Chains A and B, each alone.
Chain A
């Protein structure tokens, strides 16, 4: 038993941390977030030069990582830096491609950070349920492929993506796992309309409407029998990544608070000397430590072939990230007082990211119920 990361992963983490510290301050983040796409292509290119995306995928798909610990290490650093560039979208879509079409140019482009991909699976009424898919894919009457119609919601990086991976129902009832296909669609396809917008935490997403979008037969990445399972694995990678990102954001939020405790004075003393505040902070640190442990568990079970073990751990860590992330967000603002409410100070931006992470890929309630169901064997 050993809780140390490998030297390679430590180096990766260090490199990213240093790069972010030198190049990615809060103002830089604000500037990038205000760009039309919600991030900076320049920074994205700079990250590309560090080869970060390759860490998310195995060698078989052209990367050099892909293990749970690789994903966790990288996203923890991205969380510390409040990075807005579309890494999560890359992980979600890339995971699908890595498993279904590892030699496709889109994946190679993604790893080189030349191509942007997005996974469009959520719908207005799906509420985190991956099986609830109303977007339909029908065989093209002319026999040459598929016609896809429907709408997707809050697609991360959906407005900057060159390619979209869209979940659509080929057969079955609206809530059935079987019958869901995953399709690779160019973002400029006819019938596709994309409305991008900022999110409250400084990221970007899009509403996407598909009106009889026609694609070739080879657009189908995973069909009726395997689409859902593929989607679940991609989302699983996303749960791990988001939880790691949350952990990084929690750590920085707590560090900022400790620092503030030592400098801010009231009643003639530093506020860190007040027990009421000390105890709040202690509880925050305990929950952060719990989140880290849960992340270690999830990262190590991420590669498990035992679906129940793997998905249990992934939902569990998302519960910790969501629940503890909100707790940390609320507490650090409270412990800072007024300054925590200001745009110019970092802690509020971490808080927003932490709370919004709970809205992504299933909130704490969703995953808590999923853990309960997985614990008793069925879902």
Chain B
């Protein structure tokens, strides 16, 4: 039992930290910390910085432009970039699609798409959920009908995060109508510029445009754009969902958010004293701190298991549930910490270029919308209820 990082790991952290300190643009860090809107260009410029360093896709094999870092190092890397105020690496291409391509794609697909992810030529989004297929993903109905060396795709995807930035979408489509629903699904790579595709925004309760609906109307997709075998897409989809689950707890983000919460609670006053000295509020923060301290170790247990070659099992589901609940609770407390000042919401002030001033202390403007935005966490990525089903299933129930 040894909870300390090794000397090599500490040296690695120092190297990453030094890079982040000089490489994360300060205006970008300010936007992230202030809860401002990030533009497509913000994400792209950050990806480009990492890509130049060879660190955009640490988990990929070295031959495709990844690193030889083990899971512990990859965790340290994430901790450090979050600490430096950098935004989360947009996961759809780097951590979702790429592992599927690397494992199941043709050599040609790998050679074509992986470099374009690294150099920013392609922005991928994910076409999984449909209006009628959320948790029951296998019931999806978007059809792909074979016509020579093309598929004709018709249907609708939804909750497509940042789909309005994307030029490419990876989709699960139905290629067989009879039999078990899981056995009639294929995995297609689709160019968003193909005629017949329409992207419509979904505005979420915080008033923001992050997710979309994507409509397919007789969209022609080359058969060469199918990953793996026809009707085996469910296997690939599950592989994707199971990949890189060790990072699912979002420890680095929660740590950062908790530290922000504490500084807010130090600045906010209650009865003439800092809020953090109020026993009730301090206890609420303490409870979250205790839970996060434990979850960090739960997460490290899974990461170390992965490092030692054991596949993360049901821990991933536990981490997803608890990790999302903790992040939601931190945002809940951040909102409460501001009292009535959590109410004003001047959306223009969220735009980095805007000269409209927000109302209230720094960061207050985004705090409640952030709270509402984070309600999504216990719904996406396999809702927390689905994760509980998986936990029960792992016990043979």
Contact = CB atoms under 8 A, between A and B. Distances in A.
28 contacts: A1-B72, A2-B2, A6-B1, A261-B397, A262-B396, A270-B397, A275-B392, A278-B388, A281-B391, A282-B387, A282-B392, A283-B321, A285-B391, A290-B294, A290-B295, A291-B294, A293-B294, A293-B295, A297-B294, A300-B1, A300-B2, A316-B290, A316-B294, A365-B283, A368-B283, A369-B283, A369-B286, A375-B286
Nearest to B296: A293
4 tightest A-B contacts by CB? A278-B392, A293-B297, A282-B388, A372-B282
B340 interface: no
Contacts of B293: 294, 297, 313, 316
B354 interface: no
Contacts of B287: 319, 368
B298 to A, nearest CB: 4
Interface string A204-247: 00000000000000000000000000000000000000000000
A5 B1 CA distance: 5
Interface in B1-20: 1-6, 9
B298 A290 contact: yes
Interface in B164-213: none
B277 A376 contact: yes
B162 to A, nearest CB: 30
Interface string A274-313: 0100110111011001111110110110000000000001
B282 A297 contact: no
- The B contact surface, by secondary structure, is helix
Interface in A1-23: 1-6
A371 interface: yes
Interface string B265-299: 00000000000110100110111011101111110
A17 B5 CA distance: 32
Contact of A275 (B5, B6, B289, B389): B389
Nearest to A297: B297
Interface string A366-379: 00110111011000
A320 interface: yes
A76 to B, nearest CB: 13
B300 interface: yes
Nearest to A257: B395
A272 interface: yes
Contacts of A282: 317, 321, 387-389, 391-392
B329 to A, nearest CB: 13
B286 A1 contact: no
B44 interface: no
Given A1-B304, A296-B1, A368-B287, A283 B388 contact: yes
Interface in B292-342: 293-298, 300-301, 304, 315, 317-318, 321-322
A273 interface: yes
A354 interface: no
A258 interface: yes
A372 B279 contact: yes
Nearest to B281: A372
Contact of A289 (B6, B304, B315): B315
A333 to B, nearest CB: 19
Interface string B339-367: 00000000000000000000000000000
Interface string B363-397: 00000000000000000000001011101100111
A375 B72 CA distance: 27
B254 to A, nearest CB: 14
A25 to B, nearest CB: 25
Contacts of A294: 290, 293-294, 297
A70 to B, nearest CB: 11
Interface residues of A, number: 43
A289 B318 contact: yes
Given A300-B1, A369-B283, A278 B397 contact: yes
Contacts of B301: 3, 293, 296
Interface string B63-102: 0000000001000000000000000000000000000000
A90 interface: no
A319 B290 contact: yes
A262, A282, A296 pick with most chain B CB within 10 angstroms = A282
Contacts of B391: 278, 281-282, 285-286
Given A278-B389, A297-B297, A320-B294, A258 B3 contact: no
A28 B304 CA distance: 40
A112 interface: no
A100 to B, nearest CB: 28
Nearest to B317: A282
A372 B286 contact: yes
A69 interface: yes
A299 B2 CA distance: 10
Contact of B290 (A270, A272, A320, A373): A320
A262 B282 CA distance: 43
Contact of B6 (A1, A4, A296, A369): A1
Interface string A338-379: 000000000000000000000000000100110111011000
B76 to A, nearest CB: 11
A45 B291 CA distance: 40
A285 B317 CA distance: 11
B397 A286 contact: no
A297 B290 CA distance: 11
Contacts of B5: 1
Contacts of B286: 368-369, 371-372, 375
A1 B3 contact: yes
Contacts of B283: 365, 368-369, 372
Contacts of A285: 318, 391
Nearest to A313: B293
Interface in B108-162: none
A262 B322 CA distance: 26
Contacts of B389: 275, 278-279, 282
Interface string B1-45: 111111001000000000000000000000000000000000000
Contacts of B296: 293
A32 B5 CA distance: 46
Contacts of A286: 318, 321-322, 391
Contacts of A2: 1-2, 304
Contact of A290 (B3, B322, B388): B322
Contacts of B387: 282
Contacts of B6: 1
Nearest to B397: A272
Contacts of A313: 293
A258 B395 CA distance: 7
